[in-house]
Amino acid sequence: MIYRMCGVGVLAAALFVPMASGAATMTLRASDVHPTGFPTVAAIESMGKKLEAATDGRIKLQMFASGVLGTDKAVVEQVQVGAVQIARISLGEVGPVVPDVNVFNMPFVFRDEAHMRKIIDGPIGDEMLAKITNSPAKLVALGWMDSGSRSVYAKKPIKTPADMHGLKIRTIGNAVFLDTMNAMGGNGISMSFGEVYSALQTGVIDAAENNSPSLYTSNHYTITPFYSQTNHLIIPEIFVMSKVTWDKLSKEDQALVKKLSREAQAEERVLWDKTVVDSNEKLKAAGVKFSDVDRQAFYEATAGIRAKYGEPYKDLIARIEAVQ
């Protein structure tokens, strides 16, 4: 396996350090592509402080934010061998080994964010985490993270699928997401997030889609000032621990990590909601126009996507839809 960072062996060797008393301390290296202060980062850092306090300094956590350890894919590989101990990752990285999580990537599988939260907080969410933990992925799924709803931003307001006709719209380079954008009326374009600003500036693309905090922090709103509330994707994320590290923990420490992980999940949600409110206020103050859409029209337009990609998971989708 090829690692996408330098010094992995040095980092792995630094996991256990003897204390003056003779007992070994453990430093957990945590990774996130988001910057310091972002809800997912702050929640894991808070978890680390609680863990250190509860173990009298025996277990500590060091956060590497802003993607300094690599992309989600690169970090997952490091977590699998124990070179990184904790990471917040997208579901796309575990879909190949735990196909059921792909259900969450489909358009309009959740009615709204409240519905999504009931799912991940309930039996279905717990079952998904257990499937990841029990899979060959060598990851222990600790909990869920909110990442909001994704909507389309463009140089004009969008109300119906017809309004997206002819627009080149950047989306995540995943077949489901590209097909979804095409079904919604646009022309889905795969492109890295870092290239979107210049692509919008030069007209390589006409629009993009994301949550409002990302729209604000990326400055994309300065070019595309209309944010149409399609909310076509509501995709939770997960944070995981290396199974290599997990197996080195005592039963008591494992129970403590699980308890603090549940608290981190709840804390990140509060931070996320505050971030969304703050971002929306700043966007509106900057002149961005938020507009509602014909949600039923977009739901019906994407029926074929749910039928195509959801066929293997019909029972699971029915369970999700039944949750009120």
At residue 161, does pLDDT exceed 60?
yes
pLDDT at 6: 40
pLDDT at 5: 39
pLDDT at 226: 98
Task: Locate CATH 3.40.190.170 in the chain.
Answer: 8-94+137-146+236-278, 149-234+288-322
The mean pLDDT value for 149-170 works out to 97
pLDDT at 173: 82
Question: Is 176 within 8 Å of 136 (Cβ atoms)?
Answer: no
The mean pLDDT value for 116-120 works out to 96
> Helices 123-133 & 314-322, crossing angle to 10 degrees?
140
3-state secondary structure string across the chain:
CCCCCCCHHHHHHCCEEECCCCCEEEEEEEECCCCCCCHHHHHHHHHHHHHHHHCCCCEEEEEECCCCCCCHHHHHHHHHHCCCCEEEECHHHCCCCCHHHHHHHCCCCCCCHHHHHHHHHCHHHHHHHHHHHCCCCCEEEEEEECCCEEEEEECCCCCCHHHHCCCEEEECCCHHHHHHHHHCCCEEEECCHHHHHHHHHHCCCCEEEECHHHHHHCCHHHCCCEEEEEEEEECCEEEEEEHHHHCCCCHHHHHHHHHHHHHHHHHHHHHHHHHHHHHHHHHHHCCCEEECCCHHHHHHHCHHHHHHHHHHHHHHHHHHHHCC
pLDDT in tens, 277-307: 999 999 999 999 999 999 999 999 999 999 9
- End-to-end CA distance of the chain, in Å? 44
Please state the φ and ψ torsions of residue 241, each to the nearest 5 degrees: -120, 150
C-alpha closest to that of 146 among 172, 112, 123, 180: 112
pLDDT at 96: 83
How far, in Å, CA of 230 to CA of 294, rounded? 8
Lowest mean pLDDT among 19-28, 182-191, 265-274: 19-28
Confidence band of 130 (pLDDT split at 50, 70, 90)? very high
Question: Is 212 within 8 Å of 276 (Cβ atoms)?
Answer: yes
pLDDT in tens, 38-48: 999 999 999 99
Q: What is the amino acid identity at position 185? A: G
| CATH entry, 149-234+288-322, from 3.40.50.10470, 3.40.640.10, 3.20.20.70, 3.40.190.170 | 3.40.190.170
How far, in Å, CA of 207 to CA of 154, rounded? 4
Give the β-pairing of 149-154 and 207-210: antiparallel
Confidence band of 104 (pLDDT split at 50, 70, 90)? very high
At residue 32, does pLDDT exceed 70?
yes
Confidence band of 15 (pLDDT split at 50, 70, 90)? low
User: How is residue 14 written in tokens?
Assistant: 């630094």
pTM, 2 dp:
0.86
CATH number for the segment(s) 8-94+137-146+236-278: 3.40.190.170
At residue 84, does pLDDT exceed 60?
yes
